[in-house]
């Protein structure tokens, strides 16, 4: 019976240690979405006080980590190794080839989990330092049936996703939604931290949303003679890289990592390390979409009649059509040399615009900033990927081996990320080592460079998550903004795991641009976030503080993250929003495409009429003119 319980967990994790780990995860910070033991917590708070209850939780977590957990993993390991012997014997004695293969696979699966248990048993003393440093690796995934999640475990709504496997099925879903008066929400790889992949609350509650996940629409064709790829929206950038590499080609623009879907990246009009091209939208030649009346429509960048709708779909967060496929420009997969140079933030923009930007041989670039908890963002190393003649750079080469990262990252990476989350001095040591490593010359191909590891940061813990924030400022504002941002992060003791600056060329295509009018610099934050109510409120406060600063200094915040900005802050960052709403009525007259981002930020602006001669408007205009 116990063997059956341990091995029939559909997620591949053993039962006893996973249950202990799940309880520990609750005790660590008691995140807001957890409902287990809520009544006990209220009762203890009433009788003894909240502080007493928190001490009890912490004590219970440490007891679990160093007493209950090792006993659980020991028992699981014994059971699993017994299963290994049992399945191995059945495989050896089986006369049927298919049955023999099934038993071998069961044996391998049991052995893999058993080895994990042994590692957990050997590592459990580390739980004396932090109660979840070992147990969090055993937390099972939650059953999310009937729930769609986003926002780094923060946003969620009711819904069931449908995954069409053909374009025809997709069309049937969309036309069916129109006929039934339902709304369509679109998702892909589910890495968005905004609500743009979730249905609006009232639509979800009424079960009136058709939630379409595009992941199975992932076919593609590379056109080597044109250096383009025609790719369906559900493909990931890793898929595209593998196919393009066969022809000596590489992706031109994408996010830093390759785990995101092409359709999702187009929906937020992402940017990357290629400072020469600009946003992803600049690489799009043609788009095929299902539009607001359920028709398949092809948009051509060279057709002036198509540019308006293309600029709404790209960076439109799924509100103007379902992207079916796109033809994207590719680049040569060439050998580049990475090199770094220490530059103070106050000198960075001038140095970049004089020494890097004008020269074609510098192909990719970013500015890495200090992670020292006592010196956040106060120093930096610029990292450039360049063609260098002394290394006889070759165009159009095939990278010998493009091996995808493991789903959960390597064991070493998982341990290092978690240690960095918890120990400020580790982040300081990491920055010291990394700042030296960046300055060494390293030769790699584009396809090798554009796939940095990231999966180790994702886990099943409900106690915390890794969040992103991203801000855009003109060059003249970058240095003072970094000083303000660094002060704010240190004051709020943010566990910053990465921060980089990237140059973004002005965007003349998207109708909700984050780099309008002039070139901007993107500041990208990646940090660990506790999911306890009080800690989320603290983060929301500093995010709003930063956005207020940005609005006073010609800056903007990026939309694909948690909805912490107020409606007023959204309108200040994206003054084009009212025009976008009018265009939505034109291209999506029935309001077919709907999501949480529209509900929170665009819908409140519907129907608003501003009189240009209204006293307040006149005052603001005069104020801006004279000041």
Extents of the domains making up the chain: 2-138, 336-531
Q: Is the pLDDT of residue 592 over 90?
A: yes
Angle, alpha carbons 420-422-425 (nearest 5°): 60
Q: Which of 5-9, 98-102, 343-347 has the highest mean pLDDT?
A: 343-347
For the chain, give the percent of residues with pLDDT over 90: 75
Q: Tell me the two tokens of residue 447.
A: 């396809």
Residue 456 DSSP class: G
Query: In this structure, are residues 262 and 236 in contact, taking their beta carbons and an 8 Å threshold?
Result: yes
pLDDT in the model for residue 5: 34
Query: In this structure, are residues 499 and 304 in contact, taking their beta carbons and an 8 Å threshold?
Result: no
pLDDT per residue as tens digits for the range 38-74: 555 666 666 767 677 677 788 888 999 999 999 999 9
Q: Is the pLDDT of residue 256 over 60?
A: yes
* DSSP 3-state percent helix, strand, coil across the chain (nearest 5): 45, 20, 35
pLDDT per residue as tens digits for the range 148-207: 999 899 999 999 999 999 999 999 999 999 999 999 999 999 999 999 999 999 999 999
Q: Are strands 495-504 and 155-158 parallel, antiparallel or unpaired?
A: unpaired
**What's the mean per-residue pLDDT of the chain?**
89
Q: Is the pLDDT of residue 299 over 50?
A: yes
- CA dist 165 and 260 (Å) reads 19
Fold of 336-531: Vanillyl-alcohol Oxidase; Chain A, domain 3 (3.40.462)
pLDDT per residue as tens digits for the range 196-246: 999 999 999 999 999 999 999 999 999 999 999 999 999 999 999 999 999
Dihedral (CA of 540, 142, 173, 213) sign: positive
Q: Is the pLDDT of residue 620 over 50?
A: no
Query: In this structure, are residues 276 and 504 in contact, taking their beta carbons and an 8 Å threshold?
Result: no
Q: Are strands 495-504 and 362-369 parallel, antiparallel or unpaired?
A: antiparallel
Give the H/E segment covering residue 170. Answer: helix 167-180
Q: Is the pLDDT of residue 325 over 90?
A: yes
Q: Is the pLDDT of residue 627 over 60?
A: no
Query: In this structure, are residues 521 and 475 in contact, taking their beta carbons and an 8 Å threshold?
Result: yes
Per DSSP, helices labelled H in 200-358 are 201-205, 237-245, 262-268, 304-313, 345-351
Q: Greatest CA span in the chain, whole angstroms?
A: 90
Query: In this structure, are residues 199 and 157 in contact, taking their beta carbons and an 8 Å threshold?
Result: yes
Q: Which residue has the higher pLDDT, 619 or 584?
A: 584
pLDDT in the model for residue 14: 53
| Of 597, 421, 450, 413, the residue nearest 526 (C-alpha) | 421
Q: Tell me the two tokens of residue 318.
A: 């799924």
Q: Tell me the two tokens of residue 26.
A: 């609750």
Q: Is the pLDDT of residue 334 over 60?
A: yes
Query: In this structure, are residues 229 and 220 in contact, taking their beta carbons and an 8 Å threshold?
Result: yes
The string of DSSP letters for 52-121 reads HHHHHHHHHHHHIIIIIHHHHHHHHHHHHHHHHHHHHHHHHH--SHHHHHHHHHHHHHHHHHHHHHHHHH
Q: Tokens 């780099």, residue?
A: 515
Phi and psi, residue 434, nearest 5°: -65, -40
pLDDT per residue as tens digits for the range 398-446: 888 888 888 888 888 888 898 899 899 999 999 999 999 999 999 999 9
pLDDT in the model for residue 463: 87
């Amino acid at each position: 019976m116990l063997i059956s319980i341990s091995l029939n967990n559909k997620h591949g994790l053993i039962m006893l240690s996973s249950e202990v780990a799940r309880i520990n995860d609750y005790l660590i910070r008691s995140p807001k979405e957890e409902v287990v033991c809520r009544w006990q917590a209220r009762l203890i708070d009433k009788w003894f006080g909240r502080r007493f209850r928190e001490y009890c939780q912490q004590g219970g977590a440490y007891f679990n980590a160093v007493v209950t957990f090792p006993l659980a993993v020991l028992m699981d390991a014994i059971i699993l190794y017994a299963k290994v012997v049992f399945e191995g014997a059945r495989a050896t004695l089986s006369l049927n080839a298919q049955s023999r293969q099934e038993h071998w696979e069961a044996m391998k699966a049991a052995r893999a989990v058993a080895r994990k248990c042994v590692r957990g048993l050997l590592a459990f003393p580390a739980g004396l330092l932090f109660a979840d440093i070992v147990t969090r690796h055993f937390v099972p995934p939650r059953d999310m049936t009937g729930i769609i999640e986003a926002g780094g475990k923060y946003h969620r709504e009711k819904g069931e996703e449908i995954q069409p496997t053909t374009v025809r099925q997709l069309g049937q879903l969309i036309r069916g939604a129109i006929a039934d008066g339902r709304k369509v929400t679109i998702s892909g790889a589910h890495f968005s931290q905004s609500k743009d992949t979730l249905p609006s609350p009232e639509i979800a509650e009424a079960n009136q949303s058709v939630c379409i996940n595009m992941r199975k629409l992932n076919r593609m064709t590379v056109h080597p003679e044109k250096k383009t790829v025609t790719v369906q929206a559900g493909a990931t950038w890793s898929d595209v890289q593998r196919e393009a590499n066969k022809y000596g080609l590489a992706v031109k623009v994408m996010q830093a990592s390759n785990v995101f879907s092409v359709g999702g990246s187009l929906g937020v009009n992402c940017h990357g390390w290629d400072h020469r091209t600009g946003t992803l939208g600049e690489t799009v030649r043609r788009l095929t979409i299902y539009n607001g009346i359920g028709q398949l429509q092809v948009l051509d960048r060279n057709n002036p009649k198509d540019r308006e709708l293309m600029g709404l779909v790209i960076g439109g967060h799924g509100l103007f059509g379902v992207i079916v496929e796109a033809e994207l420009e590719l680049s040569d997969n060439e050998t580049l040399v990475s090199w770094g140079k220490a530059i103070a933030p106050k000198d960075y923009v001038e140095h970049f615009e004089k020494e890097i930007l004008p020269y074609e041989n510098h192909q990719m670039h970013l500015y890495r900033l200090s992670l020292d908890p006592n010196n956040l963002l106060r120093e930096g190393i610029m990292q450039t990927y360049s063609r260098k003649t002394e290394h006889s750079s070759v165009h159009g080469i095939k990278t010998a081996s493009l091996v995808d990262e493991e789903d959960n990252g390597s064991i070493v990476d998982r341990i290092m990320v978690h240690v960095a989350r918890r120990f400020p001095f580790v982040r300081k040591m990491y920055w010291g080592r990394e700042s030296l490593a960046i300055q060494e010359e390293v030769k790699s191909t584009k396809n090798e460079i554009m796939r940095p590891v990231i999966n180790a940061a994702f886990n099943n813990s409900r106690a915390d998550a890794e969040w992103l924030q991203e801000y855009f400022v003109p060059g003249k504002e970058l240095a003072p903004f970094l000083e303000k941002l660094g002060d704010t992060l240190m004051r709020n003791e943010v566990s910053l795991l990465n921060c980089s600056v990237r140059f973004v060329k002005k965007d003349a295509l998207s109708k909700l641009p984050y780099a309008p009018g002039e070139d901007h610099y993107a500041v990208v934050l990646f940090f660990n976030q506790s999911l306890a109510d009080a800690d989320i409120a603290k983060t929301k406060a500093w995010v709003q503080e930063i956005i207020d600063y940005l609005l006073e200094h010609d800056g903007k915040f990026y939309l694909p993250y948690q909805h912490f900005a107020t409606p007023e802050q959204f309108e200040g960052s994206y003054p084009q929003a009212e025009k976008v709403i009018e265009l939505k009525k034109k291209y999506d007259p029935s309001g077919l495409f709907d999501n949480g981002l529209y509900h929170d930020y665009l819908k409140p602006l519907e129907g608003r009429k501003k009189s240009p001669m209204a006293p307040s408007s006149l005052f603001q205009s005069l104020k801006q003119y004279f000041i």
